[in-house]
Chains A and B, each alone.
Chain A
């Protein structure tokens, strides 16, 4: 009963956050100079047809752009929430759902796997380095993980491309090889995808790993000095059993809590890596929409979906935490 109450409260908070985010995203889209109607007609203009102010106004009316800002936001968000419909792209004139379709899932998948990869390395190495009393190894580790932070992903991607071009003669770019690019999904296409997707995953995971390593190490060394660890040791616990059953469990709480923001950080770098590796997924599409075509509908939809994924992840990690640690429930419900 108490747990159900917690889940409902938390879900309500997630929805409010999502609404706020959608408002931010929508306002951003509004601030882009020009609107969709002008962009529709600008295309016609390039085809040799003259357009007038009346044409633009008529188009605005058709698209509902003459309504007040808040009403438009309401109808946009209503369509998104109720029907999962993001409307039509301003430039490409296709339904955004069709355009994004599998691409957004590929992007989300790449980011999730990169995050998973980061923690698979960071948790064991971080725990070992917090307990090991070897200043040389610790300093080396510190340097490597800082380098992960200081070396931007795009530089790493470029270096790998340079290396692979010189050694293998293949630049390893793109997500699919030529013969599968437009083919429907099949086992062969999946295998081909996996054989190419590892590179963006490694590149995105690289800096995430550096960051995660720092966090795990710091949390672990905090927990190690606490009295309950000494008490457990006094009761005769030692070695890996002690480490995993006591301090590691406590240290994992904050890490699970911050997973959502880690995903945020991985998303951040996706568009840039996508451009260098010429990936055809949502990150590249976002950059295209923002930098070149000013397609506000498309950009808004992508940013909103990415953010919704983060909010959802935050929601699930909170649920997970509240199952592991009952104190979490109290902090949300305030009693």
Chain B
């Protein structure tokens, strides 16, 4: 009996070992990543946020631009749907009716009052404002760059309310729904970050790659330039570049241009890391072995050097992503980045500098929570990926 269980144990052990030794790089990284609880939680948060950004038009009950404003509810407080009130409970969440009154008591100004006797029920999958899924609209200077894809036209939204408005996060000075704006802002921030990231990644790969692979004088020269670019503080550099954007450009063009600027400024750190990595790797035995076998430079770079640091690059990209988002937010916040009607987290937070808003309408801070969650999620996932991609991380512990 015990002998049989011992052999079963040994077999299971062997199978585990076999699985470990035959596992592919991706499987190993995933296994190590899964073991880190903080990174897994952050990953889940990140996925939820990205999905929220993707499905923003479906999830948001109102158009985030001025077209969707609620002119009867400006600077309105957040409305939380409830299930019970003093008249009893209902399974369907509801809000109380708002009534606008004007009388001698209110000094003849319009005042919004809650009427706790009347209920408005929340409905799901309602028809609302029209939006286009997967639509791309580029309106760059010059006709040739214009790109218009209509996508799928839809009108269904996750939730709505019988009559009047439902504003989960309240409304801003113009009556725009902050909940809808926040969802769209997440998407914009992610998009700006991605475009900027791709551009800086491309530049870093070329400059760092050339510098690292050829070495010598080329390396010296390129490093000098990289260091010079790195020495200029980035936000002033962003500000200087963003100051060129002519004020008559449309919001979408501006959005595109800002992403490009973020990319153009962000490459030096990554370029330097790629260079350092290449410099150490190209003297390794396996590269020498490949060269002795008669492999061409192209073959060595593609088949041997690139795979050796793809995991580093991915990790680096994830780690530097939040910096892109932070820079965009800071830039928009001071008024040099994105502008309305494009919604980004920086644009949303701009409203908070107003002393009146700061003191009386604190729900304008709600988008900041999403912003912090987004950056934190990226940082934790990046950290987890770095540990997971490092094959020696297990030996340290």
Contacts and interface: CB of A to CB of B under 8 A. Distances in A.
Interface string B206-241: 000000000000000000110111111111110111
Contact of A25 (B224, B232, B353): B232
B368 A307 contact: no
Nearest to A21: B228
Nearest to B236: A303
Interface residues of A, number: 51
B317 interface: no
Given A20-B224, A21-B228, A149-B379, A291 B239 contact: yes
A139 B15 CA distance: 34
The secondary-structure label for the interface of chain A is: helix
Contacts of A139: 38
Contacts of B244: 31-33
Contact of B359 (A20, A151, A162): A162
A105 to B, nearest CB: 17
A287 B334 contact: yes
A255 interface: no
Nearest to B331: A272
B305 interface: no
Contacts of A155: 349, 368, 372
B329 interface: yes
Interface in B370-397: 371-372, 375-376, 379-380, 396
Given A154-B330, A276-B353, A28 B376 contact: no
B240 A28 contact: yes
A286 interface: yes
Interface in A281-307: 286-287, 290-291, 294, 299, 302-303, 306-307
Contact of B375 (A142, A150, A158, A314): A150
Interface stretch (A53-61, A71-79, A120-128, A263-271): A263-271
Given A147-B372, A271-B239, A310-B233, A154 B333 contact: yes
Interface string A121-154: 0000000000000000001001000110111101
B235 A269 contact: yes
A19 B98 CA distance: 65
Contact of A24 (B232, B239, B352): B232
Contact of B329 (A16, A152, A271): A152
A24 B235 CA distance: 15
B322 interface: yes
A198 interface: no
A7 interface: no
Contacts of B376: 146-147, 150
Contacts of A149: 322, 375, 379
B224 A16 contact: yes
A275 interface: yes
A21 to B, nearest CB: 5
Contacts of B349: 154-155
A261 interface: yes
Nearest to B245: A33
A114 interface: no
Interface in B349-370: 349, 352-353, 358-359, 362, 368
Given A32-B243, A291-B239, A24 B372 contact: no
Contact of A146 (B234, B243, B380): B380
A272 B380 contact: no
A290 B379 contact: no
A311 interface: yes
A268 B232 CA distance: 9
B246 interface: yes
B335 interface: yes
B330 A146 contact: no
A294 B245 CA distance: 12
Contacts, number: 123
A165 interface: yes
Residue from A17, A151, A268, A303 with most neighbouring chain B CB atoms (10 Å) = A268
Residue from A29, A139, A150, A264 with most neighbouring chain B CB atoms (10 Å) = A150
A272 B232 contact: no
Contacts of B322: 149-150
Contacts of B329: 152
B336 interface: yes
Nearest to B246: A33
A65 B293 CA distance: 60
B379 A264 contact: no
A161 B353 CA distance: 10
A225 B232 contact: no
B140 interface: no
B326 interface: yes
Contacts of A268: 233-236
Contacts of A33: 244, 246
Interface string B32-53: 0000001000000000000000
Given A33-B246, A269-B235, A307-B232, A275 B326 contact: no
A187 B330 CA distance: 36
Contacts of A21: 228, 231-232
Interface of B: 38, 224-225, 227-237, 239-241, 243-244, 246, 322, 326, 329-330, 333-336, 349, 352-353, 358-359, 362, 368, 371-372, 375-376, 379-380, 396
15 contacts: A21-B231, A25-B232, A150-B371, A150-B376, A152-B330, A152-B333, A161-B358, A162-B359, A165-B358, A271-B236, A291-B336, A303-B233, A303-B236, A307-B232, A310-B231
Closest 5 CB pairs of A and B: A150-B375, A20-B228, A267-B233, A268-B235, A150-B376
Given A265-B233, A267-B235, 18 more contacts: A32-B240, A32-B243, A139-B38, A146-B376, A146-B380, A152-B371, A154-B330, A155-B349, A155-B372, A264-B231, A268-B233, A272-B235, A272-B330, A286-B236, A286-B239, A290-B240, A299-B243, A314-B231
